[in-house]
Structure 1
Amino acid sequence: MHAEAFDHPPFEDDWADQLGRLSLGWVTARDDQGLVGFVNVIWDGLVHAFVEDTAVAVRARRRGIGVRLIATAREHAAAAGCEWLHVDFEDHLRDFYLGACGFTPTSAGLIRLR
């Protein structure tokens, strides 16, 4: 589903191993046909959590699944003691994250490594 959501070939690495090592947790959504949504939450081990890899299967989009994934991720991060939930995103997702999910715009820095 990640490859479909982000328009790239499937990765060769062990995705489950990465999740286990780097994640605070993850949230999934399923229907009678299987997995339709996923969001990964990573953290700094203290008070900052970060939304990564929010994905909803093409066949399940526009049904509020992504918003519910983020809401559940927010609840779990707060329960883990995090004080902040961060996200970065491409401009075409601005309405989703800032409007539908309730994130506040901030100034942030970024350096492209590759």
Structure 2
Amino acid sequence: MTITYEWRGDFDDTSLDALHAEGFGHPPSEVAWRERLERHSLGWVCAWEGSSLIGFVNVVWDGGTHAFILDTVVAEQYRARGIGAALVATAAEEARAAKCAWLHVDFEEHLRPFYFDACGFKETAAGLIAL
């Protein structure tokens, strides 16, 4: 298995929608992913095995020094192989290259070991308002 990682990879909306639906447990939504990402993101990282999209992470930003990780997802059959951590590491490298000073993430409690242990995030105080 050779996995490649591509910054601002050229995916098709259907493949990303299917991966997102599998990863987050919802039906495919026919989101225009490319349009959304081009409008709001610093970039994104695609993980590929051959021509199959098997992983993805979105890097949104404030246009300055803060970048944010969203939608980290790896296809179920590829999980627990370090692909998610490699996606996040690539995202961090690219955010740093874009002169961002901070990379933020929020997550559900069960993902704490992934983000803190595997990816190297540090705990910090934050706030959230449910809308």
What is the TM-score of this pair, normalised by structure 1?
Answer: 0.96
Match of 1:59 in 2: 77
Q: How far apart are the structure 1 equivalents of 2:61 and 2:50?
A: 31
Q: Which residue does the alignment assign to 2:57?
A: 39
2:39 match: secondary structure: helix
Q: How does 1:1-114 map to 2 (within 5 A)?
A: 1-32=19-50, 34-113=52-131
CA–CA distance in structure 1, aligned partners of residues 50 and 68 of structure 2: 29
CA RMSD of aligned residues (A): 0.9
* Letter in structure 1 aligned against 2:22: E
Partner deviation per Cα, 1:15-47 (whole Å, 9 max, x = no partner): 111011000000011113601100000000000
Shift of 1:11: 1.7
Alpha-carbon deviation of 1:53? 0.3
Q: What is the CA-CA distance between 1:59 and the residue it aligns to?
A: 1.0
Letter in 1 for 2:42: L
Structure 1 residues not aligned, in runs of 5+:
none
C-alpha distance in structure 2 between counterparts of 1:33 and 1:16, whole Å: 17
Whole-Å separation in 1 of the counterparts to 2:21 and 2:33:
12
TM-score of the aligned structures, taking structure 2 as reference length: 0.84
SS at structure 2 position matched to 1:107: coil
Matched residue type, 2:61: W
Percent of aligned pairs with the same amino acid = 61
Equivalent pairs counted in the alignment come to 113
Where has structure 1 moved over 4 Å in runs of 4 or more?
Answer: none
